[in-house]
Amino acid sequence: MSVPAGQHTVRRHNLALVLGVVAGPEPLSRAGVAARTGLTRGTVSSLVEELIEARLVTELAAARGGPGRPASPLRLDPRGPAGLGLEVGVDTVGACVVDLGGTLRVRRTVASDHRDDVPDAALARLAALAADVVTETGLPIAGATVALPGVVGPDGVLERAPNLPRWVDVAVGPALSTRLGGLPVRAGNEADLAALAERWAGGPPDAVVVSGGIGVGAGILLDGTLFAGAGGRAGEIGHVVVDPDGATCHCGGRGCLETVAGWESLTADRPDAVRAAGRALGIALSGAVHLLDVPAVVLGGGYPRCGPLLLDAVRAELEARVLTRAGVEVRFSALGPEAALQGAATAVVQEVLADPGALIARP
């Protein structure tokens, strides 16, 4: 039987509506979902059956004790299609699996230095690690996102990574997809994915989230969504100039933030390295705050390991430079150095929740 195209669209929309309500904090039965969405009970039941068959939703045993017919609460199926997060760092590769309910099931990071390396060997190492974590969880995988330490265009191509000079215009997603049996693999900038992870963990909707490592990047959150810029390149704060006469940067420029606040300078055996990094971060961030009017700054990646000395230096610099009366909240991320990896896996889960029909329609 053929169905008019409009009905397909409505059904797809309603699948997302029902799944969104089931994913909410309150456990609801089919009747509860109908009341919440305004759909008929018959429609909800048919949609729920489809979601159960796709292993996106599971129905728990009925709760006893109350008056009337006991209601069976629905919830996201923790055995359902999960998100695979992958990361190519400057000197690591990582992989993790986040289930449909947002729980991190397994995460592994191994040393793998790419500063003088061509992409092929690293991608083979990463694909092997990915296969390991997927086998370990035993979960079906809906897709993957790979976090990359450089400029990723809207087409998912890693255009340039200043710390990985031999990685130029690399289509990392398709290369990994081939190695992972055709699994859809998207690519994103690591700082952007770390910023999204921050937001999904309940972080502020308007913020600059700085990711500190060998390179320094930022994700910009405006009104709860990522601001990627016209070409997906926004947030390259590591290459904002903080000292025009400063040291030469890997990007070819001079006096970039990364030359003072990147991991190699920060951990150098030099008095006041942390204070100097904090001051440079504060200078670059005051520019970002003035341009974007964001009330919050989150310092992630390796920065929390530097402790209050770094935080105090950033705060002092912002207080001295930023004009807003309310001030800017500056805090460390609580997600740890693998925030980008977790964000990459959660991005897949978020996409499934936003449009389960796309996954169900997949051959």
Q: Which of 31, 131, 241, 251 binds Zn ion (CB under 5 A)?
A: 251
Question: Which range touches Zn ion (CB under 5 A), out of 122-130, 131-139, 243-251, 268-276?
Answer: 243-251
Residues in 327-346 that interact with Zn ion by CB under 5 A:
none
Shortest reach from residue 286's CB to Zn ion, in Å: 19
Question: Which range touches Zn ion (CB under 5 A), out of 17-25, 83-91, 252-260, 285-293?
Answer: 252-260
189 to 228: interface string for Zn ion, x by CB under 5 A: ----------------------------------------
Residues in 254-283 that interact with Zn ion by CB under 5 A:
256
Taking the CB of residue 214, how many other CB atoms lie within 10 A of it? 22
Q: Which of 249, 277, 340, 347 binds Zn ion (CB under 5 A)?
A: 249
| Closer by beta carbon to Zn ion, 35 or else 251 | 251
Concatenated DSSP letters of 53-69: HTTSEEEPPPPPSSSSS
Question: Which range touches Zn ion (CB under 5 A), out of 110-118, 126-134, 241-249, 304-312?
Answer: 241-249
Amino acid letter, residue 140: P
| Closer by beta carbon to Zn ion, 251 or else 309 | 251
Q: Which of 30, 114, 239, 315 binds Zn ion (CB under 5 A)?
A: 239
Shortest reach from residue 240's CB to Zn ion, in Å: 9
Taking the CB of residue 249, how many other CB atoms lie within 10 A of it? 19
Residues that bind Zn ion (rule: CB under 5 A) add up to a total of 5
| Closer by beta carbon to Zn ion, 151 or else 310 | 151
Shortest reach from residue 352's CB to Zn ion, in Å: 37
Measured between alpha carbons, how far is 32 from 28 in angstroms, rounded to an integer? 5
Contact between residue 234 and residue 220 where contact means Cβ atoms under 8 Å apart: yes
Residues in 279-318 that interact with Zn ion by CB under 5 A:
none
Shortest reach from residue 241's CB to Zn ion, in Å: 8
Question: Which range touches Zn ion (CB under 5 A), out of 86-94, 249-257, 304-312, 350-358?
Answer: 249-257
Question: Which range touches Zn ion (CB under 5 A), out of 71-79, 136-144, 244-252, 351-359?
Answer: 244-252
Token readout for 114 is: 């790419």
Shortest reach from residue 281's CB to Zn ion, in Å: 15
CA dihedral (232, 193, 303, 169) positive or negative = negative
| Closer by beta carbon to Zn ion, 234 or else 335 | 234
Question: Which range touches Zn ion (CB under 5 A), out of 14-22, 32-40, 168-176, 245-253?
Answer: 245-253
Shortest reach from residue 234's CB to Zn ion, in Å: 16
Q: Does 253 bind Zn ion (CB under 5 A)?
A: yes
Shortest reach from residue 339's CB to Zn ion, in Å: 23
Interface positions with Zn ion (CB under 5 A): 239, 249, 251, 253, 256
